[in-house]
């Protein structure tokens, strides 16, 4: 594998200027992150035991720190940019399921429609209400 096809696992910067094979002390010239790490290796896989598909590899506790694994093979697709999580992802899923965000209150029923429904049900006079 050539250095031209490699990018930093942490920031995605090209590793064209980093000598190969990657030494234990190799660092990304852009973000100074160590490169001889599990997260940069082709055997790294969070879905398997010890996050390593190589059964003969010794366990490495910190997958983002340089190690002495002799089975290390850098992979070109090690950089995984952040994906939407949390609120943005949840809102997108809900919008796909239910057809978008809720509509704003109409001019006929300003304010909270639930409160209006309760007032209608119990006959409360809005002018005497303490909000």
Token representation of residue 23: 């030494």
Q: Is the pLDDT of residue 129 over 60?
A: no
**Domain for residue 131, yes or no?**
no
Q: What is the mean pLDDT of residues 110-120?
A: 75
14-18, 19-23, 121-125 — which is least confidently predicted?
Answer: 121-125
3 state DSSP class of 3? helix
Domain count, the chain: 2
The pLDDT of residue 37 is above 60: yes
Contacts of 39 (CB under 8 A, 6+ apart): 9, 10, 63, 64, 78
97 and 67 belong to one structural domain: no
Q: What is the pLDDT of residue 70?
A: 93
Same domain? 92 vs 58: no
pLDDT at 73: 94
- Distances from the Cα of 42 to the Cα of 27, 46, 74, 130, angstroms: 18, 12, 6, 65
State the CB neighbour count (10 A cutoff) for residue 10.
Answer: 19
Whether residues 2 and 55 share a domain: the answer is yes
Once rounded to an integer, what is the mean pLDDT over residues 46-72?
Answer: 93
Domain range enclosing 96:
87-124
Q: Is the pLDDT of residue 4 over 50?
A: no
- Closest CA relative to residue 35, chosen from 5, 2, 4, 6: 6
DSSP state of 50: G
> Is pLDDT of 2 > 70?
no
For the stretch 80-109, pLDDT in tens is: 887 555 566 777 777 788 776 555 555 555
């Amino acid at each position: 594998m050539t250095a031209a096809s490699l990018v930093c696992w942490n920031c995605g910067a090209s590793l064209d200027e980093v000598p190969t094979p990657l030494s234990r002390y190799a660092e990304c010239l852009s973000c100074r992150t160590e490169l001889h790490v599990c997260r940069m290796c082709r055997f790294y896989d969070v879905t398997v035991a010890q996050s390593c598909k190589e059964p003969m590899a010794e366990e490495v506790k910190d997958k983002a720190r340089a190690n002495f694994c002799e089975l290390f093979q850098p992979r070109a697709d090690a950089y995984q940019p952040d994906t939407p999580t949390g609120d943005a992802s949840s809102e997108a899923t809900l919008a796909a399921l239910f057809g978008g965000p809720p509509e704003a209150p109409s001019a006929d029923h300003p304010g909270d429609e639930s409160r209006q429904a309760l007032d209608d049900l119990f006959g409360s006079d809005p002018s005497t209400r303490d909000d």
